[in-house]
Amino acid sequence: MGGICLSSPALAQTEVTFYFPVAVGGPITKTIDGFAEGFNKENPDYKITPVYAGTYQETLVKALTAHKAGKPPTSAILLSTDTFTLIDEDAVMPIDGFIKSDADKQWLNGFFPSFMANGQVEGKTWGVPFQRSTVVMYWNKEAFKKAGLDPDKAPANWAELVSMGEKLTQRDANGNVTQWGIQVPSSGFPYWLFQCFTTPNDVLLANSDGNEVTFDNVKVIEALQYWMDLSQTLKIHPPGVVQWGTTPKDFMEGKAAIIWTTTGNLTNIRNNAPFDFGVGMIPANIRPGSPTGGGNFYIFKDATEAEQQGAFEFAKWLTQPERAAQWSMDTGYAAVSPAAYETDVLKKYAADFPAALVARDQLEYAVAEFSTHENQRVTKVLNDAIQAGLTGTKTAEQALKDAQGEANRILRSYR
């Protein structure tokens, strides 16, 4: 009989499924598994079960498919830009409903405001930041020295990006490029990298209600034209569509002297670059700035109350300053709260590796990542327009005017 008594608390355990956007394996899954085990040990009433669901896109599809089949996950890390989609599908709960105590209020108000922008719609908080980023610039200090440039001074604006990019572009005897001056990826998340041109040009691509876009704005067209000019006119940037996935590798292999990519690549580049490198903010034009990026923690509406409460407790636990600091050091993602940067462990890390603070410092100038209703469709329209410009199949103006018309049709019913 004793055995049955001992096992009875296990029967009362509430299982909380947690969809996480990563292909199986690798150091990130070890960190997440460690977090789940740590939480489960401290909270024996709950059992967090991580489900590694592939890319962000695949994770969203799996979560919504499960939701429609009446078997939703309890919680998931999905893109902050999926907020409108999740609301429109009636899939997630506002986090505000779980906030009971002063400590809960303090927790919800403790995140960086620019990371909250994508998750808050119509006065409600639908997701809280977890795996968040900005785009940052990486530069090869050895390549700068060889080109006669100050290795500690990165391009601060568009004009300097061009003048330094010209000095950094290397060609062999046959005129083939052996090192590009600047490389910005345009596959995977073209719209996100495009915001690194539109934000400095002082223009937003969508309104905060997610039902209007500004693709045909003259400043948006100028931003795309500048990106196109880097490759088509100045020839200091690779032609056509540049792969997201191989850009960090190209940098580490010396094929590109400057790249823009997520701060989430910081730890990878730090561990693998065979040369000294710098990390800086995206070059300014009219103003500085980058979009935020990355994933929020969402709680699904059709999970049981006990499961939802477990997910809420896990969200709070995951985002405590010490854990947010650890996550930032393990991955390079920005820590989600000012308090995380005040922890001894992150202060010590940043003193030794100041590049870890660039994404945080850039938050002061950051804007929300592009997001609308029907986000997948509208984003595809914009991505296609950007790629049409970069491959030279359309002018910047034509590509973006066509995209504006298409987006207007998709969003009409949300106005």
Domains with residue ranges and CATH for the chain: 2-133+293-365 (3.40.190.10), 134-292+371-414 (3.40.190.10)
The whole-chain average pLDDT of the chain stands at 95
pLDDT in tens, 235-255: 999 999 999 999 999 999 999
92-106 mean pLDDT: 98
Write the DSSP string, 247-294.
Answer: HHHHHHTTSEEEEEEEGGGHHHHHHH-SS-EEEEPPPBSSS---BEEE
d(CA 330, CA 109): 25
pLDDT in tens, 2-46: 444 444 444 579 999 999 998 656 688 999 999 999 999 999 999
pLDDT in tens, 318-355: 999 999 999 999 888 999 999 999 999 999 999 999 99
| Structure confidence at residue 9 (pLDDT) | 47
117 band by pLDDT with thresholds 50, 70 and 90: very high
What DSSP designation does 54 have? Answer: S
Q: Write down the pTM of the prediction.
A: 0.91
d(CA 212, CA 233): 32
